[in-house]
Structures are given as structure tokens and as C-alpha cells.
Chains A and B, each alone.
Chain A
Amino acid sequence: MAVSKTTLKTLLGVHGVIHRQTLLLPSTLRCSGILSTRSIHERDYRRPGQPPDTRWPWQKIRFDFSKGVEGIKKHIGLLKDEFVQRWTGPEGRPLIEHILEQTRVQWEFRGPESLNQWVVSSDQEIGGRSEAYIQLGKNNTTCLLYGTLCSTPPRDGETRYSGYCTLRSKQPLASFDRKKQYDWSSFNTLHMRIRGDGRPWMVNVSAETFFSHQRDDIYSYFLYTRGGPYWQDVKIPFSKFFLSSRGRIQDDQHVLWLDKVKSIGFTLGDKADGPFQLEIDFIGLCNDLAHTEEFAYELYKRNPEV
């Protein structure tokens, strides 16, 4: 009896520890509404200063029947669409459209469900104090990203710098949550209509990679916003995007291939504390025929001939 009581107590104690540990995980912080929009692939992040998540896989399951039924309906619908749209042409549109296409609006904000395609995060994941939120702008036609930057680093003994926020689009998914990519090979320029507050942003495009070493490979370029009430049309050719990995610009540069683009993102990290706002009307692509440059930067050549 005593043995079983102690084992019970130990078990309860263990469960209590585990339960306590779950409270400290980033998913249960006050910004849980934003972070829970992360996909399964993005949840492996360990916040610095926190112990690693040592739960067993079966303890991480969140099971729900009604969600299951909705999920099955949605995925089988998507699968049927995939088969049916092959009759029309590549990506469900006739080939003639693909040949003639010169502009395309990829992201538009015309209703609350358009915000579900985007993930906002800030340095609250690592324990900082910046805040970032998205909402629909006036007349439900634009997306407003707003918040406050605070570059005080969190006191966890590991982090030295802080003060950033990001808006990133989710990777498109086919049926059964298989990853899909955008095919932007007919275009060569990114065209956005934005209204900023004078802060310098970075536009990040990420492409589908094969190896896990390239998981954080991002192609970035600068986006200087003007303050003021007037909208700004920004056209950035894809040849200008440079490669960086986990924030470090790489020496071995190469051009971004546009046939498998995963997502686009905007990052603010200009070390200026205070409020910020960025309003986006649309993000589109266009084909600038006058722009013939293939890549703007020198390709790093190992063993150059001297």
C-alpha cells in the first residue's frame, strides 16, 4: 500500500512538474493568440533561457473530433480540386494565361480571413518587450501592422540584442497539409503598395530548400518607407535580393530562383524604440521588361585565377 502511495505521489509530482513546465512555454504566454497560428513545422523553437520541452510525443497531442470531421471535409475538397484543376492547366489556369501574364496580385486584404495567411511575431518569443499586432485597415481593404518596439534585451543571460518584429506569410498548403510553393518564374519584380512611417524595413523572401542547413535561408532587401499620408508604390527586382541565413549575410551569393517561393515577410529592427505602423494595400508581382539584370552582386569565386 505504502509503495503504491509513494508511486502515486511521485507520478502526481512528475505530472505537476510537467504541468508547471507547460506554463512556461512560449505557446501559453499572453501573446498566445498570435503564436498559436504557427504551423507544426514552426513550433520547434526553444526560447533562450527556458529548459527544453521534454514531454513525450503523446503528451503533446491535442485531439478533437469536430475538428477532425471539418478537417477531413476540407482536405478531401482540396484533393478533389487538385485533380480537377489539372484539366484546365498548370495551377488551375489555362496555359495561355500563364504565357500572357505580366502582373499578378499575390496577397490582398479583403476580409478578416485574409489575415489568417499571415503570422506576426516579435521578440516576445525570446522574452523581449516589443509588441506587434495586425488588423484590417480602413474599409477592410488594407492590412495594418502596428505595435511598439523596445530594444531592451531580456534578462536571461543568453540574449544580447532585442527589438524586432516580423510579419510573415504562411507557406501555402495543398491537401493534407502538404507544402506547396508559389511559381513566380514569369515575373522579375516585386510590386507592393504600402504606407509606412518612415522606418526602414526589410523584405524577406524565402524559397523552398532541401537540406536542413538551408532552413533559415532568406533572400532580403531593404524597404525604406516615407512617412506621411500618401501611399508608396515599391518595385523591387528579384535580382536585388541578397542571401542571408539566420540574419547573417552569406559570402556565397546566388540569385533567388523564382519557381519555388515559400513565403514573404517584412521585418523591422532598426534599434529605434517606440511605436511603428505599416499599412499594406497589396503585394503583387510584375514583369519589368526594362530590367535585364540577372543578379546584382558578385558571385563569390573560390580559388580565383591570379
Chain B
Amino acid sequence: MNPYVLMILLSSLGLGTTLTFASSHWLLAWMGLEINTLAITPLMAQHHHPRAVEATTKYFLTQATAAAMILFASTTNAWMTGEWSITDLSDPLANTMFMTALALKIGLAPMHFWMPEVLQGLDLLTGLILSTWQKLAPFALIIQTAQNIDPLLLTLLGVTSTLVGGWGGLNQTQLRKILAYSSIAHMGWMIIVIQYAPQLTLLALGTYIIMTSAAFLTLKMSLTTKVSTLATTWSKSPILTATTALVLLSLGGLPPLTGFMPKWLILQELTKQDLPIIATTMALAALISLYFYLRLCYAMTLTISPNTTNSTTPWRTQTTQASMPLALFTMATLGLLPMTPAILTLTT
């Protein structure tokens, strides 16, 4: 892509999110969300492939619908209560509409149906931006308004998302769809605890961004998009295969990796709030997701084809991709669990 155009699009992406972060008026927040949607649209469609254009169209339609619903919710609230401030969302209809719109924006179940198809049509880097950066602005709005939203709606969204994310990812063979369902499940974990401890939501979001970035960058480094190609990454780079397996287990939430931290703290918070059934359901739903992460690890590390491999093993030449971000995110994904006390002190 033309470097000037790329610069404009990336800076618009940054601008949109920052605008939403910095806003206290609903119209400015909505504007930031729309700028994000419009800026990522050319990035998604740059490859002129019909599937990329299809993914762009589906993404644009869902995000525009969600943004329109947000505008409608804020206008309804302003009409009922006269307040445009984000933290003063008090009308119940506006609250519910707003939460539904934001659920559509970040891909919470049952508004998740666009996510796997959209991620499947994109290349890995754009998919990474979609899964990580595009979630920040909506979460900023959710965290600010979470106290006013119906707790039942939040709980339902959270539990449904983790269950759907688990079951939906079970029979997938395309890695981008697996990561889409993983995103849906993680969003569920973030939403379930927002009414009790918003700082845990931020922590979960932060660790999710780190782990997903590590996963996407690994797939980009080894140029794999299918499970069958993943099975031959051990010959391209054995160390990368080892770290990828650990990154996937971290996404699954296994100690002693970083991914365990948000799940542990969220379950602890739910138990403190006297909600053992919800905590058990979330833990069991996480097991379903863990099954498909483990299956990817199995395909990658514990299988060698009996005779010839199923995909071409390329020459192990020096890679031209930048490896620093991958190294950083991988280390963060694997090694941050001992820092839990420090993180808790800093955030609470």
C-alpha cells in the first residue's frame, strides 16, 4: 500500500481510539468509534480478493449498525434525562440498547456471528489489529457505563460468550476462525467481572491483547493459516514451535503462564461476590476452549506424519520479518504470572 495512505489510515486508527478514550460526551465517543471503523476498512480491503471485500463489507455493516445503535441510545438518554455525559447513562432503555450495541461491536455472543467469517477473510496482520486495537475503544465505553447496566444482561452476555466461544471453536480447521472464537470467549470473561471489579476487566483485556498478538505474530512468522500446515512448523523453526505451544496453552489459561492470571483473579472475584454457580460455569466453559488449544498443540508438537508430510517444508532461510515484536509478546505471554502481586498493587 502507498506509505502515505498507510500512514493516514494507521494514524486515523490511533486517533479514533484516543478520541473515544478522551471523550466525556457521547457524540465524541461515537465519532471516535466511527473513525476507527472507517480507518480499518481500506486496510481490510487492500488485497482486492473477493473474500477480503466480503469480510470488509460484513465488518463495516455490523460496526455501522452498532455505532448507529449507540447514537440512538445516547440520544434517547439525552431526550429522557437531558444528559450527554458518558457516565450519566441512567435511562434503562438506553442502557440496554447501548450494551447490546457494544456487544455487537466487540463480538460478544449472541452478536458474534460476524467474527469468524470476517477474520477468515483477512490477512493475519489486519486480523491482529481487528482483534486487539479495535476492542479498546468499546471497552473504554463499557467500563465507564458498567454500573448502570442491568447485571443480568452482563452476566448472560459473559456466560453465553464463553460457551459459544468454546463450542464454536471445536470443529474448526482454519486457524483464523479458531482465534476468532478464542476472542469471543475472552470477551466473555472480561464482561462477566465488569460489574464487580472493572480493573480486572482491564487486566484481562491487557493480557488478552498480549497473548493474541503473540499468537497472530507467530502464525505470521510461520505463514500458516490451517491446522495441517501448523503440523509442519517444527521443521521450519523448532523454537518457534515450542513457544507457540506455550502461547496456546497461555490462551487456554493454564498456570504457570500469564493467561492463568486473569482467569484466576476473575474466578476469585466471582467467588467473593457469592456467585459459585457462575464461577463454575465459566471454569467449565474455559475447559472447552482449552480442548481446542490443546488440540492445536497436539497437532503441532506431538504429531509427525507416518511417511511424507502433508504440507511443503520450506527452506529454513533467514526470515525477512521483524522478530522483535514477536519476541516481546511471547515473553510477556509466558512470563508475567509471577508479577501478579505487582500488577494487583498497581491497578487496584
Contacts and interface: CB of A to CB of B under 8 A. Distances in A.
A83 B239 CA distance: 39
5 pairs of A and B residues whose beta carbons are closest in the complex: A210-B54, A90-B171, A254-B49, A99-B228, A186-B228
B170 interface: yes
Contacts of A287: 310-311
B236 interface: no
Contacts of A255: 49
B334 interface: no
Contact of A99 (B49, B120, B170, B299): B299
B171 A86 contact: yes
A289 interface: yes
Nearest to B49: A254
B317 interface: no
Contacts of A183: 173
A102 B49 contact: no
Interface residues of B, number: 31
A210 B57 CA distance: 9
A259 interface: yes
B318 interface: no
B51 interface: yes
A209 B231 contact: no
B173 A209 contact: no
A12 B226 CA distance: 63
Contacts of B314: 292
Contacts of B310: 99-102, 186, 287
A86 B50 contact: no
Q: Is the interface of B mostly helix, strand, loop or mixed?
A: loop
Contacts of B227: 95, 98-99
A36 interface: no
Interface string B303-321: 1011011111010000000
Contacts of B226: 185-186
Given A95-B227, A102-B308, A289-B309, 11 more contacts: A89-B171, A95-B295, A98-B173, A101-B310, A183-B173, A185-B228, A186-B310, A207-B50, A210-B57, A211-B53, A303-B2
Contacts of B311: 287, 289
A217 interface: yes
Contacts, number: 69
B85 interface: no
A90 B48 contact: no
Contact of A98 (B49, B50, B228, B305): B228
Contacts of A89: 171
19 contacts: A90-B172, A98-B173, A98-B227, A98-B228, A99-B228, A99-B310, A100-B310, A102-B310, A185-B228, A186-B228, A217-B50, A254-B47, A259-B120, A259-B174, A287-B310, A289-B311, A289-B312, A292-B314, A303-B2
Contacts of B299: 95, 99
Interface of B: 2, 47-51, 53-54, 57-58, 120, 170-174, 226-228, 231, 295, 299, 303, 305-306, 308-312, 314
A289 B174 contact: no
A292 B170 contact: no
A209 B50 contact: yes
Contacts of B228: 98-99, 101, 185-186
Contacts of B2: 303
A257 B49 CA distance: 9
Contacts of A10: none
Contacts of A114: none
Contact of B173 (A86, A90, A252, A292): A90
Contacts of A102: 308, 310
A207 B50 CA distance: 10
A2 to B, nearest CB: 58
Nearest to A289: B312
Contacts of A100: 305-306, 310
A140 interface: no
Nearest to B296: A95
B231 A99 contact: yes
A86 B166 CA distance: 13
Interface string A202-238: 0000010111001001000000000000000000000
Contacts of B49: 254-255, 257
Nearest to A243: B50
A88 to B, nearest CB: 9
A210 B48 contact: no
A185 B170 contact: no
A289 B303 CA distance: 19
A255 B51 CA distance: 11
* Most chain A beta carbons < 10 A, residue from B47, B58, B227, B314: B227
Contacts of A101: 228, 310
A185 B173 contact: yes
Given A99-B227, A99-B228, A254 B171 contact: no
Contacts of B120: 259
